[in-house]
Structure 1
């Protein structure tokens, strides 16, 4: 009877008591559980969010190219403010995160996430019609609305992961979620380009990418829950395993957000600095590498969709490798969470920093070497997915969404600052000496932020978190 209660019957106090008496039964099942399904659903969210966000970079080219489609009825324009249009998303995205993260900490993710993303998707579907009437001003307003709505994405992701994923599975499962970012980038490169050149033209880029968003909303309504306690059909064994490993039975549900403690937390601000440094390098690579490869290395990387996508495909694969390697070493007690986060973060920052320097010192006659370095630099960045990117959950499972809302703001501002820095430094795009300052700066920021995380960062739950310190010591 005990065996049935532990493995098949819904959670009850009696089943929890039986499990506590036999702690060996609290080891994780290898089978696909309810927690894994929650991870799949938020992985789908990250994919859809980034696919929708990145699709504009292809769509806006087609919108301003009369030869982009064989359909003569598709309208095209002559806009000279394309960079401003693409920046409109971040105008809404950056400030909304702190407000949204506070709402998530109070009300949970499910209905907030569905409401925000439904609004985001409907705005995207309406974009071609709005553009028809208001042209560039219309698309800027719609992108601003989408940015406001997508401010909930990463606070929601961290909140769900912190509620559902035990610490010893966190790097692998969270890494799988964040690996949806590069695969979404790759998908948008191929699919949106094909749609833009088809008879249906650029409007269908918006219809399809945001229609998938509505499909995610339906999936989340039907199959996802804020935490294990609200799931109607979990086994007692899986729920107790999650609760014990996270210390969920000791969480004070009515605790106030410790704003003062967060503001004075050294490990948290080390995380903020690291995330901002990573984002500076990320946006430098994302926005400037094609120009450097074209004008300095004399290699038009944009002319080959396959080559443009290759770094992100490799990053996607390595993200799984780094994540599951980290969890494997953690479960074998070879390292603790603190060591795991700092080691993976160092790999994801220090090696790309060296690659930045090597890339800058490659001449135009070494284009193959430059491409290899570019692929490795972007791909190895994926180690950070199980470094600082999951650290909010380590510091405070209870307030992970709040920490994301605060830390992601400065990080996303670098999406404006890094390109502006390059514009101020590089006056002659063909001069490698001017580009040297760009790459040395990015490498230096990577190294400094990585060192700060090693010295001041932490993988331990902080004293100001809402959970009392009774989490299973196997994971600390």
Structure 2
């Protein structure tokens, strides 16, 4: 007996020392880093058209430009007198197209027409077949479609719209697949930090792509934006398939203590769902509806800025394409840092039992939705005050990152077995905003730029406040009865 106790003591000691301090070299943090870089590529491929379309349409004829009022911001020292903002070196040539602001809005919205189609399918497929294969295939398809963008544009706006829709379909499976992976890898008290560290790759890709794409447009021509990013995406897919494993049990290099820690912490959530789903119970679930409405309202703000901020910088504030890329990227630097910090802070509050999980989710959602709404209203009043406009836009995108530790990951709290599927459902609501927002911006700003943008900002703020009230009222972090493995509807 004494010998057995002496042999057990070191094992117990190791357990106490290792588990509270997993370290950034653990398998789950390695997965977070790989997903961070993968989502970097996903968003780099998604947003490059938002900045490139400015160079693609700089030659728009005066007759197709919007009728603007006299309160449009005056050109400042960096803008070209003719408003073209083209400063390509001699010898660099790229085609330009006569697309109106409405057409540009439709082109930018087309991504989300495809994106909405595969959200639910991606959630279902990832639960059936696993997240690794689905995410890798989605990223590879996105990269290939990006390489075809210049060809589609040369054939006409209709072809570019169609290719954008296909690109959206390819990306639609990626985030549900990611949530399916995290349901198998992320212990409950580490979900916020791990998932936010991965999700920060989205804004990292955005704030890198905007200035880099602007430089490429200027010195190489806009087609090379798609060739370079599409090529890098194809290469990265090789690393994804080699380095990622579906769950801890299949990872060849994970330590026994880490595997035991992850498996034991997730023991109560059950395995991934099968072919049958408790659809009726999901439809009746108010906590799920609360997340969906929050996604719908908050993603309007996010996607409006993601797709249309370069146009605001160009059309209203008159920054040239280099300044446009840099200043459009600035808000996402704050968002990247905010996403990581809010994840760490949320897990700290949970691990110290300062607040319950539901309170943490609602607190971070409240800050991440209310303060950006106030900032957008402020933008609508500063008008042509360039530093103030950029400052408030940066503040808005920085603080919205707090939603990453709020309703953005609430699906995995209420139903971890169905995390990928629920992300597909709630993200579908958010994608509706992605479809409508760029088109609405194009329509509202087609006659009067400053007044139109003011209306855009006010409408966005109002939607955010409504979504926040709905989520705070009906949101929950309790594991739902229909999500328990022993009571799941078969």
Normalised-by-shorter TM-score class: 0.7 to 0.9
Please, what is the CA RMSD of the aligned residues?
A: 3.3
Instruction: State yes or no: 1:114 paired with 2:136.
Output: yes
Distance in structure 2 (CA, Å) of the matches to 1:59 and 1:289: 12
Distance in structure 2 (CA, Å) of the matches to 1:120 and 1:360: 35
Distance in structure 1 (CA, Å) of the matches to 2:30 and 2:229: 23
CA-CA distance at 1:288 after TM superposition: 5.5
Q: Which residue of 2 aligns with 1:442?
A: 460
Distance in structure 2 (CA, Å) of the matches to 1:437 and 1:140: 26
The 5 A counterparts of 1:8-407 are: 26-64=19-57, 69-70=88-89, 72=91, 74-80=93-99, 81-129=103-151, 131=153, 134-199=155-220, 201-247=221-267, 250-251=270-271, 254=274, 256-286=276-306, 300=319, 303-362=323-382, 364=384, 366-407=385-426
Q: TM-score, normalised by structure 1?
A: 0.85
Instruction: State yes or no: 1:412 paired with 2:431.
Output: yes
1:327-378 deviation line (CA, Å, top 9, x unaligned): 11211121221111111111101111222333333354x5433332222112
Distance in structure 2 (CA, Å) of the matches to 1:384 and 1:405: 17
Instruction: State yes or no: 1:464 paired with 2:485.
Output: no
Shift in CA distance, 39/467, structure 1 to aligned 2, threshold 3 Å: farther
Shift in CA distance, 124/168, structure 1 to aligned 2, threshold 3 Å: same
Shift in CA distance, 65/125, structure 1 to aligned 2, threshold 3 Å: same
1:252/1:466 contact within 8 Å kept:
no
CA-CA distance at 1:399 after TM superposition: 0.8
CA-CA distance at 1:273 after TM superposition: 0.2
1:19/1:237 contact within 8 Å kept:
no
Shift in CA distance, 185/450, structure 1 to aligned 2, threshold 3 Å: same
- Indicate the SS of the match to 1:398: helix
| More displaced 10-residue stretch of structure 1: 354-363 or 42-51 | 354-363
Shift in CA distance, 79/335, structure 1 to aligned 2, threshold 3 Å: same
Q: Which residue of 2 aligns with 1:474?
A: none
| More displaced 10-residue stretch of structure 1: 122-131 or 404-413 | 122-131
CA-CA distance at 1:109 after TM superposition: 1.6
Distance in structure 1 (CA, Å) of the matches to 2:181 and 2:168: 21
How many residues align? The count is 454
Shift in CA distance, 185/31, structure 1 to aligned 2, threshold 3 Å: closer
Distance in structure 1 (CA, Å) of the matches to 2:280 and 2:13: 36
Distance in structure 1 (CA, Å) of the matches to 2:201 and 2:113: 24
- Indicate the SS of the match to 1:179: helix
2:180/2:419 contact within 8 Å kept:
yes
Q: TM-score, normalised by structure 2?
A: 0.82
1:206-230 deviation line (CA, Å, top 9, x unaligned): 2221122222221121111111122
1:280/1:411 contact within 8 Å kept:
yes
CA-CA distance at 1:151 after TM superposition: 0.9
1:278-307 deviation line (CA, Å, top 9, x unaligned): 0122234345556667777x6748745433
1:65/1:76 contact within 8 Å kept:
no
2:346/2:360 contact within 8 Å kept:
yes
Distance in structure 2 (CA, Å) of the matches to 1:247 and 1:461: 13
Distance in structure 1 (CA, Å) of the matches to 2:442 and 2:105: 13
Distance in structure 2 (CA, Å) of the matches to 1:77 and 1:427: 20
CA-CA distance at 1:75 after TM superposition: 4.8
Distance in structure 1 (CA, Å) of the matches to 2:230 and 2:318: 34
Shift in CA distance, 65/220, structure 1 to aligned 2, threshold 3 Å: same
CA-CA distance at 1:50 after TM superposition: 0.6
Shift in CA distance, 213/341, structure 1 to aligned 2, threshold 3 Å: same
Shift in CA distance, 71/264, structure 1 to aligned 2, threshold 3 Å: farther
Distance in structure 2 (CA, Å) of the matches to 1:430 and 1:386: 35
1:315/1:378 contact within 8 Å kept:
yes
1:301/1:308 contact within 8 Å kept:
no
CA-CA distance at 1:48 after TM superposition: 0.5
